[in-house]
Amino acid sequence: MGISMLKEAVEDWHRFLKDRNVNSRKVKVHVGNGLFLQKSWESLCVGDVVKVSKNEYFPGDLLLLSSSYEDGVCYVETMNLDGETNLKAKRSLEATLCLDDDEEFSRFKAKIRCEDPNPSLYTFVGNLEFINESYPLSPTQILLRDSKLRNTEYIYGVVIFSGRDAKAVQNSTRAPSKRSKVERKMDHVIYVLFAMMVLISSISATGSALYTESEKEKRWYLRLRENIDDLFDPSDLVLSGLLQFIRSLILYGYLIPISLYVSIEIVKVLQAMLINKDLGMYDEITGKTVEARTSNLNEELGQVEMILSDKTGTLTCNQMEFRKCSIEGISYGGEVNEVDFVASERMNIDVERHRFSLDGSDSTGRSIEMFDLSTADASIEKEILHCNHGLDDPKAQNSRISVTGKESIIKGFNFRDDRLMDKMWIYRSNITDMVTFFRVMALCHTGIPVENNQSDRMMYEAESPEEVAFLIAAQEFGFKFCERTQSTMILQELDPSSGLVVKREYKLLNLLEFNSSRKRMSVIVQNEDGDIFLFCKGADDVIFERLADNGRTYQQATTLHLSNYAEDGLRTMVFAYKRVGLSEYEDWNSIFTKAKATISSEREELLENASEMIEKDFLLLGAVAVEDKLQKGVPECIDKLAQAGLKIWLLTGDKKETAINIGYACSLLRLDMKQLHLKLSTKAESNQVKDVKEEILLQIESYNQMIIQEDKKDSPFALVVDGQALQISLGSNLKHLFFSLAMNCDVVICCRVSPKQKALITRLAKQHSGKTILAIGDGANDVGMIQEADIGVGISGMEGMQAVMASDFSLPQFRFLERLLIVHGHWCYRRISKMILYFVYKNIAFGLTLFYYDIYTGFSGQDLYDDWYMVMFNVLLTSLPVISLGVLEQDVSSDVCLQFPALYQQGQKNICFSWKRIVGWILNGILASLAIFTLNIYILSSAAFDQDGNVADIEHIGTITYTSIIWTVNCQIVLMISHFTWISHVLIWGSILCWYIFLYLYGLFPPVYSGNVFGIFTEAIGPAFIYWILTLLVLVVALFPYFIHITIQRSFYPMDDHVIQEIKRHRRDITDSPSWLKEQEKSKKMTQIGFSARVDAKIVNLKEQLHQKRKSVYSSLTNSPIYKSMMREETSPQ
């Protein structure tokens, strides 16, 4: 217990150090007379005026007073709060704009009245009394703790909530202490053993009392009537029985493996060390490794059934990359995605095999196939064709496939297409629209260029990382945005006619801002020739409905491309433009300016209407696709985890579209999945809570019906829930329905989820399903979820430390989760389960012999073994091999674990620590104790045990029996271990040797200390031949039941790991052969998510299409009389 506490204390100390690190962060605080001094965060008080500089975190919830911008705007990044990567603009009150200098604050005095601290991130009620006037405050003026100042030099703010009153902190939940399922079950095992102990203790106590009572007269040599010993007092049997009971409890305490707790702690620390030191989980880029922050949960890693994952920073690396574009209805940047490629490749293997199985006529068969493919016009068939070519020349084709894993040279630009790159686009036929397309890209944004010293390429900062990606792409295509002033934007353009770079200035007339309801953004610019253009980018549905009739030339092709891009998980945006006549513009501008000048509440509506007036009759240019770049290895990792039988839920604070995109990118979603959207209709928003509930209930019920009706295997379901709907679904009366729906879906995506909701989902999912849940995230918004889950994992790659500090394991990269769970989780689960079972066995085998002997001593409580033997049992003689079992045991090696992720399901089904197993081991322990005791007693008691006619006394029999126990329990562990290292050998055989050495040394002590053990080994039992052959006999008999058990199991009912061990051991040569691969293939769990599942679905899909195509081709052929006879002959073998 002491060791346990020590371990916890060390772990807490590390947490404390990290906490202190946060608390001692410095911020500039106003101390009076306009003087700002550095102070640590912990000394901040409500009402302090602070100055926060660019890229610093806010130390508490602040009221924004002023910023480095004249209009009091500042940009904040709230990634830690909601996972959104877009910068958010906050605006100070007009009244406080003047406070833009340190000096100003010497006289500053104001009063803020506001709500009590609460966890709601998106609301704030309060007012500011400043210079005798009261101004209402709204969330726009509030800078929340854990968000970060971006794109703004500095801000001044007043601390409203500090420390634990801050909204972000209010959102955090108390860190619960976690114990693994195995350990909780272990407690029950201990209860069983405890019951067993109490039972035999009471038998002993009753027996002793009865014996004392019945023998008090007869056994004169015991002199029981002279009660010098309360334990045997015939005059007070109850008392002596009670004392005997207590003594028995102490004696049979060996049944309760108290040392198990110590051993488990040691083993877990060592396991954690192995996890921390695993080179397979070392991130070379950050130089960080996986860190097991608590070692309590190692084995829980092997039982995870659900993963709740954050999106931003966990799956994605919060970096946008320009990937593809569709201009004038032609798609650039790679046509084939990986899924199609792998699918068609695998189909081609099938085709190959098929072909080999045919005889001579197959060449015709193939030509028919080619023919039928070449007649296909849909893009999918084209890809099959192209892959058929690929068979002949795979390298040439591979260049057309954009591979996600490849690192792009230019940050934010991962685009490869010879037709556009390196200024090649100027040689294309119709380029006017293309030029416009690039101009939209370079002009329609809010970004600002940042000087980059290293190269002539520009760097950009913008509200959203997408815009940065567009700007970088435009620069690559020859449209470099190089300067922005209040009203102009300057581009360096590549002039297609001359091929020269020219500098052009565009007058920025208006900017119609992006927001989530408009889903579009427009700029109105005037070029040097005086022509006015409106450039617009936005979501496809928004733009398409605003196209002019003559602007729909590319609509069909673009729509197809958009859906392809979306399936790849790319975020798409459609570009359109229109030319605006001067007079038309001026008319509109007057309306717009008027609307802008309005201060009343109608302002928004007026602006909206004004925008509607001009944003119409667009001409479609094309679409772009940017990739929210996934972290390295994420899709592969998700694929493996899915195969291991894990369910993956995505919980994100980001908006729905982004979440779905990422769903596609990670292969969590695919096109043929039925997406069930749970959301509030816009009308319902204003309605009563009751109606809203009704609506959600209705949706859930109809979806449930749908799932029941459909055959689930053919059409997988995905549930997409948004924050508001979730709020209601998690209410007390709906949550059961909601979770039963969610559990039936193959994947669940929750968007717009607040940190508190994340924690709530985690808790409810845990309660509802009873499954082991792992939550993984990187930001402060994931802390609740991480703490609530059975296992919390933090990503340590990014800068925020809150998630890591709350987590049980921290990973530098999401992809290490695969190895952490499938290898280490699997191992640790098996190790700890085996170890506990072995401990139970060992202590029963030992403890019960004491009880049996007690029966032979008239229940007097005499122990068979010397006290020192008993002390040594758990301390030295049997503890070390267990540690080697707990630390080094592996059923299969790590690469096999990864190849057969289905092995992981043993942990989910809790095979290694089921009650069946536990009872089995208890029985095994009982059998072993019986074998050891009876054999020793019967053989030794009857006559002399050596040639000199000496008879064995208690000490001899005890020592010989004890030797048998040491051999038996140590050899039992040999039968349990399947992976031997020299360490295990040293520990096991060393332990046995240790016993003899101990016995020898103990015998050397003077008899005053060693008593009857004095010289026992050298004089009495060592020379006695029977001692040695008896040990052998007992060993064989005691291990026999287990040996028979494993023989039967291995030969007739092998477990998964046994078979794989056999394959590995006996057919080592087939590791690369098809049958091994096939086995690997089969081992994948039937799952609907992950890359492999997607490929499988695609293959089914393609095959169907191919089949139908072929059918129609055949029917047309066979209908034609000329081919009829010929085809009949040649296709007959098929």
Partner 1 sequence: MQLKFLQFRSSGAAPKVLEIVDRYDVECVPPSFRSNKLEYIKDSSIPKNCSRYLQVNKHMKAPIYIYYQLDNYYQNHRRYVKSRSDKQLLYGLKYNYTGSCSPEDANNGLPIVPCGLIAWSLFNDTYSFFHGADALKVNRKNIAWESDRNHKFGKHVYPFNFQNGSLIGGALLDPAIPLSDQEDLIVWMRTAALPSFHKLYGRIEEDLHADEILEVKILNNYNTYSFGGRKKLVLSTSSWLGGHNNFIGIAYISIGSSFIFIALVFMLLHVKNPRPYGDTTNISWTWTGISS
- As annotated, the active-site residues are 310
Q: How far is the CB of 231 from partner 1 (least distance, A)?
A: 7
> Does 701 sit near partner 1 (CB under 8 A)?
no
Phi (first) and psi of residue 18, to 5 degrees: -70, -40
Asked whether position 1025 contacts partner 1 by CB under 8 A, the answer is: yes
How crowded is the C-beta side of 48, counted as CA atoms within 13 Å? 27
- If we measure between CA atoms, which residue out of 736, 781, 729, 787 comes closest to residue 763? 787
Please, what is the minimum distance in Å from the beta carbon of residue 1082 to partner 1? 6
Looking at residues 867 to 926 of the shown chain, list those that interact with partner 1 (rule: CB under 8 A): 902, 905
Is the Cα dihedral 708, 709, 714, 718 positive or negative?
Answer: negative
Smaller CB separation from partner 1, 222 or 431: 222
Contact status: 1091 vs partner 1 (CB under 8 A) = no
Least spacing, CB of residue 208 vs partner 1, in Å: 9
Nearest distance from C-beta of residue 1076 to partner 1, angstroms: 10
Residue 819 annotated as lining a ligand binding site: no
For partner 1, the closer CB: 847 or 886: 847
Kindly state whether residue 937 participates in binding partner 1, applying the rule CB under 8 A: yes
1086 lies in the site for partner 1, by CB under 8 A: yes
Q: Please identify which residue in the block is written with the tokens 């803020």.
A: 112
**Distance between CA atoms of 45 and 885, rounded to whole angstroms?**
54
Ramachandran angles phi, psi of 622, nearest 5°: 160, -160
Q: Is there binding between residue 1056 and partner 1 (CB under 8 A)?
A: yes
948 binds partner 1 (CB under 8 A): yes
Q: Which is nearer to partner 1, 657 or 1056 (CB)?
A: 1056
Closest by CA position to 316, among listed 797, 1021, 792, 892: 797
Check if the beta carbon of residue 835 is closer than 8 Å to that of residue 818: no
Q: Which stretch binds partner 1 (CB under 8 A): 121-129, 336-344, 742-750, 1003-1011?
A: 1003-1011
Binding status of residue 1059 toward partner 1 by CB under 8 A: yes
Q: Between residues 45 and 1044, which has the closer beta carbon with respect to partner 1?
A: 1044
Flag whether 236 is marked binding. no
State which residue, 399 or 862, has the beta carbon closest to partner 1: 862
Q: State which of residues 25, 503, 1067, 1111 lies at the interface with partner 1 (CB under 8 A).
A: 1067
Which listed range, 148-156, 353-361, 596-604, 1004-1012, lies at the site for partner 1 (CB under 8 A)?
A: 1004-1012
Q: Nearest approach, Cβ of 1056 to partner 1 (angstroms)? A: 5
Q: Which is nearer to partner 1, 241 or 861 (CB)?
A: 861
Window of 179-187, 305-313, 780-788, 953-961 that interacts with partner 1 by CB under 8 A: 953-961
Q: What is the dihedral of CA 738, 739, 743, 746, to 10 degrees?
A: 50
Task: Determine the Cα–Cα distance for residues 718 and 737; give it in Å rounded to an integer.
Answer: 16
Q: Which is nearer to partner 1, 227 or 553 (CB)?
A: 227
Q: How far is residue 376's CA from residue 383's CA, in Å, rounded to a whole number? A: 10
Q: Please indicate if the annotation marks 372 as binding a ligand.
A: no
Q: Which two tokens stand for residue 179?
A: 């114990």
| Window contacting partner 1 (CB under 8 A); options: 224-232, 285-293, 496-504, 508-516 | 224-232
Q: In this chain, which stretch among 391-399, 588-596, 724-732, 1014-1022 interacts with partner 1, using CB under 8 A?
A: 1014-1022
- 1047 is a contact residue toward partner 1 (CB under 8 A): yes
**Which of 939, 965, 971, 999 is close enough to bind partner 1 by CB under 8 A?**
939
Q: Torsion angle of alpha carbons 906, 912, 916, 922, nearest 10°?
A: 180
Q: Does 1130 bind partner 1 (CB under 8 A)?
A: no
Stretch in the footprint of partner 1 (CB under 8 A) among 41-49, 146-154, 226-234, 591-599: 226-234
Q: Is 350 in the site for partner 1 (CB under 8 A)?
A: no
CA distances from residue 464 to 85, 142, 468, 538 in whole angstroms, order as listed: 7, 20, 7, 14
| 1069 is a contact residue toward partner 1 (CB under 8 A) | no
What is the C-alpha separation between 891 and 1061, in angstroms, rounded? 7
Which residue number, 221 or 982, has a Cβ lying nearer to partner 1?
221
Which stretch, 586-594, 628-636, 748-756, 1054-1062, contacts partner 1 (CB under 8 A)? 1054-1062
The answer to whether the beta carbons of residues 717 and 673 sit under 8 Å apart is: yes
Bridge partners of residue 492, in order along the sequence: 480, 503
Residue 842 near residue 988 (C-beta atoms within 8 A): no
470 in a known ligand binding site: no
Decide the pairing of beta strands 791-795 and 809-811.
Answer: parallel
Instruction: Please give the structure tokens belonging to residue 195.
Output: 């019951």
Closer of 861 and 925 to partner 1 (Cβ): 861
Shortest approach of partner 1 to residue 225 CB, angstroms?
10
Q: Which residues fall within 8 angstroms of residue 227, CB to CB, at 6 or more apart? A: 233, 234, 235, 236
What single DSSP character describes residue 229?
Answer: -
* Shortest spacing between CB 1060 and partner 1, in angstroms: 8
Region binding partner 1 by CB under 8 A among candidate stretches 308-316, 336-344, 621-629, 1064-1072? 1064-1072
Q: Is 546 annotated as a binding residue?
A: no
| Residue 583 touches partner 1, criterion: CB under 8 A | no
3-state secondary structure 1032-1078: HHHHHHHHHHHHHHHHHHHHHCCCHHHHHHHHHHHCHHHHHCHHHHH
Size of the site for partner 1 (CB under 8 A): 85
Question: Binders of partner 1 among 391-450, rule CB under 8 A?
Answer: none
Residue 1079 as a binder of partner 1 (CB under 8 A): the answer is yes
Phi/psi of residue 455, nearest 5 degrees:
-135, 180
Give the number of C-alpha atoms closer than 13 A to the C-alpha of residue 383, restricted to the C-beta side: 25
Q: Are 985 and 973 in contact (CB under 8 A)?
A: no
Task: Point out which residues pair with 26 in neighbouring strands.
Answer: 40
672 binds partner 1 (CB under 8 A): no
Check binding of 218 to partner 1 (CB under 8 A).
Answer: yes
- Cα angle for residues 388, 565, 340 (degrees, 5° grid): 25
514 is in an annotated binding site: yes
Under rule CB under 8 A, residue 1074 binds partner 1: no
Contacts of 1048 (CB under 8 A, 6+ apart): none
Q: Report if residue 1019 touches partner 1, rule: CB under 8 A.
A: yes
Cα–Cα distance, 1036 to 1041 (Å, whole number): 10
Tell me how far, at minimum, the Cβ of 778 lies from partner 1, in Å.
33
Strand arrangement, sheet containing 126-130: 110-114, 126-130, 133-137
1029 binds partner 1 (CB under 8 A): yes
CA 580 to each of CA 619, 1018, 1117: distance values in angstroms, whole numbers, following the listed order:
12, 110, 55
The residue from 724, 978, 1012, 1105 that contacts partner 1 (CB under 8 A) is 1012
Residues in 230-289 that interact with partner 1 by CB under 8 A = 231-232
850 makes contact with partner 1 (CB under 8 A): no
Q: Is 752 annotated as contributing to ligand binding?
A: yes
The verdict on 951 binding partner 1 (CB under 8 A) reads: yes
Q: Say how far apart CA 483 and CA 450 lie, in whole Å.
A: 9
Which of 246, 1044, 1046, 1126 touches partner 1 (CB under 8 A)?
A: 1044
Q: Name the token pair of 900.
A: 């057969």
If we measure between CA atoms, which residue out of 727, 734, 786 comes closest to residue 752?
A: 727
Do 150 and 75 touch, CB atoms closer than 8 A? yes
Give the nearer residue to partner 1 in terms of CB position, either 108 or 868: 868
Please give the annotated binding residues for Mg(2+), written as ranges.
Answer: 310, 312, 778, 782
Please give the annotated binding residues, written as ranges.
Answer: 310-312, 467, 514, 537, 571, 652-654, 752, 758, 778, 781-782
Please give the annotated binding residues for ATP, written as ranges.
Answer: 310-312, 467, 514, 537, 571, 652-654, 752, 758, 781-782
